[in-house]
């Protein structure tokens, strides 16, 4: 027996209604039940590790309240130069209390240009002062375009360069006042919890600067080292636990492909004493500031790193040749060569130092006869471990001059040569000096004779110490056989 369509009408409509009613509920269950916004007021602590390669690791702790089930967490006030692929979020007390289903970074920040662009085709209000009544009058207008300036339609008229203020009825969707991380989370229970969001950011770096003050006879110096932090990451870090990493951290195309390595490093716990405490970690050195510090956006901050008084130093005058002197005859060029001035100190505990010194610029000063401090030179140093030498070139000596000439050249075989040289050093100073002469002799070489003792300081270098009397001159002669 076949039932008539009329018999199916009511049951069919009932099922259809229930199905349509149930479908949006099912779809609705796939959406977050709540959007929670977290700002700086929720912050319980922040730690910043700054690398000297324009990179920072931020660990931002906040207390949040999440419902059970799916929820959207909008994590505001993060660095505008954040590297989104480096972001990691976790619950501190119970890491398994929620799962991250989705992660987004919203950086379409609110500004006048973007606000105008969002309102193209929409109605705004224009306010202007009536020159006769001196009262502000309002007119409704449609923003037609914002290319090289706004174009409005007021009634049936089109105009631009309107002199009044533009009032927008609301904040358009998609524009946010601050960079924001957005997570879709699935929480197992509803309760407050402390979470930590870790991420890498560009725009923050640090460097070391050193000030060395020489005493009257250049035998000792006072040293002060400073850390300079430059923060242009787009965020302020208030009362942050600050760590600095010194070392050559490898990066790929200036992007944070080092995330996994840095995140592992972030788990290291360091302890404390005054100002910075230094500690070796991995192939780098970490300097931990033993107090909280606020690092503001667009701020350059300096913090004392190391100080030492009366450090023994050695002043040196260096006259150095170049390899081209040894590959053919050239005789006497008649050219005068400058003599370099260096100071050197040992980074040892006995000298009240002994802490690994990060690379940076060393600036050297000395007091003149009026006791006024004068700048005498600067040089860049690389990362210097403890018990190693810090060597700084100050410049060229004004009152010392050198010259050289080749007095003989012989080819004694297809690959062997003999050469003889004479070096003259003149001292116009009011004290005796000793000049270290370094000659870069190539190939396999043998010193046949020399007017002064030498040492083979390197495989391809002969070194002489030449004393030069005040207002006098000294000559160094030698003959060498080379095979190359």
Summarised one tens digit per residue, pLDDT across range 105-128 is 876 666 777 788 888 889 988 888
Per-residue model confidence (pLDDT) at position 254: 46
Pick 275 or 270 by higher pLDDT.
275
CA-CA distances (angstroms) from residue 189 to 35, 67, 93, 99, 183?
Answer: 16, 7, 14, 11, 17
Indicate the range of 86-100, 325-339, 356-370, 374-388 predicted with least confidence: 325-339
Per-residue model confidence (pLDDT) at position 261: 43
- Residue 5, pLDDT > 50, answer no
Phi, psi of 356 (to 5 degrees): -55, 125
- Residue 19, pLDDT > 60, answer no
Per-residue model confidence (pLDDT) at position 130: 76
Phi and psi based region of residue 438 (left: phi greater than 0; alpha: psi -120 to 50; beta: remaining): beta
Contact, 13 vs 5, CB < 8 A? no
Per-residue model confidence (pLDDT) at position 25: 36
**Exposure string for 117-152, b = 16+ CB within 10 A, e = fewer:** ebbeeeebebeeeeeeeeeeeeeebbbebbeeebbb
Per-residue model confidence (pLDDT) at position 109: 62
Per-residue model confidence (pLDDT) at position 113: 78
CATH topology of domain 321-354+389-483: Immunoglobulin-like (2.60.40)
Per-residue model confidence (pLDDT) at position 110: 67
Q: Name the pLDDT band for 255 (thresholds 50, 70, 90).
A: very low
Per-residue model confidence (pLDDT) at position 262: 43
* Residue 41 three-state SS: helix
The percent of residues above 90 in pLDDT, for the chain, comes to 48
Q: Name the pLDDT band for 478 (thresholds 50, 70, 90).
A: very high
Count how many Cα atoms sit within 13 Å of the Cα of residue 98 in the half-sphere of its side chain.
31
- Residue 343, pLDDT > 80, answer yes
- Cα 423 to Cα 428: distance, rounded to the nearest angstrom: 17
- Cα 73 to Cα 76: distance, rounded to the nearest angstrom: 9
If you average pLDDT over every residue of the chain, what do you get? 84
Q: What is the pLDDT of residues 304-339, one digit of tens each?
A: 989 999 999 999 999 998 888 899 888 776 678 899
Per-residue model confidence (pLDDT) at position 477: 97
Q: What is the pLDDT of residues 194-236, one digit of tens each?
A: 999 999 999 999 999 999 999 999 999 999 999 999 999 999 9
Per-residue model confidence (pLDDT) at position 138: 86
Residue 180: which H helix or E strand, with range? Answer: strand 180-187
Output helix, strand, coil percentages for the chain, rounded to the nearest 5: 10, 55, 30
Q: Name the pLDDT band for 15 (thresholds 50, 70, 90).
A: very low
Pick 275 or 94 by higher pLDDT.
94
Per-residue model confidence (pLDDT) at position 361: 95
DSSP 80: T
Residue 38: which H helix or E strand, with range? Answer: strand 35-38
Contact, 231 vs 295, CB < 8 A? yes
Average pLDDT over residues 128-133: 76
Asked whether the domain spanning 321-354+389-483 has the same topology as the one spanning 33-107+179-312, the reply is yes
The percent of residues above 70 in pLDDT, for the chain, comes to 83
Q: What is the pLDDT of residues 160-183, one digit of tens each?
A: 888 778 888 887 776 666 678 889
Average pLDDT over residues 462-470: 96
Pick 389 or 255 by higher pLDDT.
389
Q: Is the pTM higher than 0.85?
A: no
CATH topology of domain 33-107+179-312: Immunoglobulin-like (2.60.40)
Residue whose C-alpha is closest to residue 345's, from 465, 222, 208, 463: 222
Q: Name the pLDDT band for 252 (thresholds 50, 70, 90).
A: low
- Residue 33, pLDDT > 80, answer no
- Residue 256, pLDDT > 50, answer no
Q: Where are the domains of the chain?
A: 33-107+179-312, 112-167, 321-354+389-483
- Residue 420, pLDDT > 50, answer yes
Q: Name the pLDDT band for 27 (thresholds 50, 70, 90).
A: very low
- Residue 273, pLDDT > 80, answer no
Indicate the range of 71-80, 216-225, 275-284 predicted with least confidence: 275-284
Q: What is the pLDDT of residues 442-458, one digit of tens each?
A: 999 999 999 999 999 98
Residue whose C-alpha is closest to residue 246's, from 276, 287, 275: 287
């Amino acid at each position: 027996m076949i039932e008539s369509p009329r018999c199916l009408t009511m049951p069919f409509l009932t099922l259809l209604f229930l199905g349509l009613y149930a479908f949006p509920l099912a779809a609705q269950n796939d959406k977050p039940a709540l959007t929670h916004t977290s700002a700086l007021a929720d912050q319980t602590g922040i730690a910043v590790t700054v690398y000297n390669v324009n990179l920072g690791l931020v660990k931002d702790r906040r207390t949040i309240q999440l419902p059970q089930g799916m929820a959207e967490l909008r994590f505001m006030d993060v660095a505008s130069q954040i590297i989104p692929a480096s972001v990691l979020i976790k619950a501190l007390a119970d890491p398994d209390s929620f799962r991250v289903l989705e992660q987004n970074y919203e950086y379409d920040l609110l500004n006048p240009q973007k606000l105008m662009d969002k309102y193209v085709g929409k109605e705004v209000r224009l306010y202007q002062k009536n020159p006769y009544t001196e009262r502000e009058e309002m007119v409704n207008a449609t923003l037609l375009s914002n290319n090289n300036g706004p174009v409005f339609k007021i009634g049936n008229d089109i105009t631009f360069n309107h002199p009044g203020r533009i009032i927008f009825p609301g904040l358009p969707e998609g524009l946010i006042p601050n960079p924001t991380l957005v997570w879709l989370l699935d929480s197992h229970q509803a309760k407050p919890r402390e979470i930590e969001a870790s991420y890498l950011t560009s725009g923050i770096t640090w460097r070391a600067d050193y000030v060395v003050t020489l005493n009257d006879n250049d035998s000792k110096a006072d040293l002060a080292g400073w850390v300079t932090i430059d923060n242009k990451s787009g965020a302020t870090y208030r009362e942050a636990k600050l760590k600095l990493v010194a070392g050559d951290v490898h990066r790929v195309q200036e992007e944070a492909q080092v995330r996994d390595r840095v995140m592992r490093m972030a788990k290291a716990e360091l302890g404390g004493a005054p100002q910075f405490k230094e500690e070796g970690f991995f192939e780098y050195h970490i300097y931990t500031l033993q107090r909280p510090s606020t690092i503001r956006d667009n701020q350059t901050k300096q913090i004392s790193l190391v100080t030492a008084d009366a450090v023994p130093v050695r002043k040196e005058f260096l006259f150095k040749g170049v390899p081209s002197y040894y590959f053919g005859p050239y005789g006497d060029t008649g050219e005068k060569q400058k003599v370099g001035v260096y100071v050197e100190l040992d980074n040892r505990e006995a000298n009240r130092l002994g802490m690994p010194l990060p690379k940076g610029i060393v600036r050297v000063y000395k007091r003149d006869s009026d006791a006024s401090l004068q700048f005498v030179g600067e040089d860049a140093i690389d990362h210097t471990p403890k018990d190693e030498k810090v060597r700084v070139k100050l410049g060229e000596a004004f009152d010392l001059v050198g010259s050289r000439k080749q007095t003989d050249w012989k080819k004694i075989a297809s690959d062997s040569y003999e050469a003889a040289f004479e070096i003259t050093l003149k001292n116009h100073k009011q004290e005796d000096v000793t000049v270290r002469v370094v000659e870069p002799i190539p190939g396999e070489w043998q010193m046949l004779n020399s007017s002064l003792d030498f040492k083979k300081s390197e495989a391809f270098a002969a070194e002489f110490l030449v004393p030069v009397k005040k207002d006098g001159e000294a000559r160094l002669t030698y003959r060498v056989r080379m095979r190359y």
